[in-house]
């Protein structure tokens, strides 16, 4: 497993290659790492996507498209990593640029899947119900004050869920 992980990380070096095939391999490698091994690879991928936004957008487009079929992918992340991911994705795909879904049939496109996936990060952090997920939501608000209104209630809910998950009945004997 470690050798595969190292090989996949090595492919990331080709992210700025003029060879389109090498660049595509690096995008697929990053997608694989972000879906299956984010705890071990997030810092490496994050550094590249922050330096090369176009490449990062392609990676996120691929991840979001595949995430439709892998609902448990966020379980592989630390909460703080999800906060960083949400912050970066929101910078590239701001919520106010989301297309409004109106009545009638519509073929969903990559931007729609990215929008859904971005909001799934918030849903996951809210429902995870850990002190780390509450901290992650607060970090998002610190970095993106424009989402404060939409996330403030989510923090309250996350705190409630955290209390419910950690609550233990009183112990002791009554006389």
Average pLDDT for runs of 10 along the chain of length 175: 77 88 93 90 93 94 86 91 96 77 70 86 94 97 94 94 89 71
Q: Tell me if 173 is assigned to some domain.
A: no
Of 75, 166, 153, the closest CA to residue 121 belongs to 75
What's the pLDDT score for residue 70?
Answer: 76
9 and 68 both lie in a single domain:
yes
Domain with 132, as residue range(s), is 77-167
Question: Residue 111 phi/psi, 5° resolution?
Answer: -60, -35
Q: d(Cα 67, Cα 74) in Å, to the nearest integer? A: 9
Q: Do both 112 and 30 map to the same domain?
A: no
Give 158's Cβ-side CA count (13 Å radius).
22
Query: Of the residues 22, 54, 72, which one is the last residue of a structural domain?
Result: 72
In this structure, the answer to whether residues 160 and 94 fall within a common structural domain is yes
CA distances from 43 to 19, 30, 158 (A): 25, 11, 26
Look at residue 66 in the predicted model and tell me its pLDDT.
Answer: 87
Would you state the pLDDT for residue 95?
A: 75
Q: Token pair of 91, please?
A: 């910078």
A 10 A CB-CB count for 100 gives 4
Residue labelled with tokens 């409630």: 160
Query: Looking at residue 71, what is its pLDDT?
Result: 74
At what angle are helices 148-166 and 131-143 packed, to 10 degrees?
170
107 and 54 fall within a common domain: no
Nearest to 86 by CA among 110, 63, 54, 70: 63
pLDDT for the residue numbered 98: 64
């Amino acid at each position: 497993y470690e050798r595969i992980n190292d090989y996949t990380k090595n492919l990331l070096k080709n992210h700025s290659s003029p060879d389109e095939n090498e660049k595509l391999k690096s995008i697929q490698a990053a997608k694989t790492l972000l879906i299956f091994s984010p705890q071990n690879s997030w810092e490496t991928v994050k550094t590249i996507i922050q330096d090369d936004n176009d490449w990062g957008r392609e990676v996120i487009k691929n991840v979001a498209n595949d995430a439709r079929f892998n609902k448990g992918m966020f379980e592989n992340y630390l909460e703080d990593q999800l906060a960083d991911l949400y912050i970066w994705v929101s910078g590239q795909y701001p919520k106010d640029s989301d297309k409004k879904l109106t009545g009638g049939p519509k073929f969903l496109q990559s931007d729609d899947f990215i929008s859904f996936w971005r909001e799934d990060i918030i849903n996951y952090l809210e429902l995870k119900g850990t002190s780390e997920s509450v901290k992650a939501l607060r970090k998002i608000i610190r970095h993106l004050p424009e989402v404060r209104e939409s996330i403030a209630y989510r923090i309250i809910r996350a705190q409630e869920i955290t209390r419910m998950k950690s609550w233990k009945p009183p112990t002791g004997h009554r006389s």
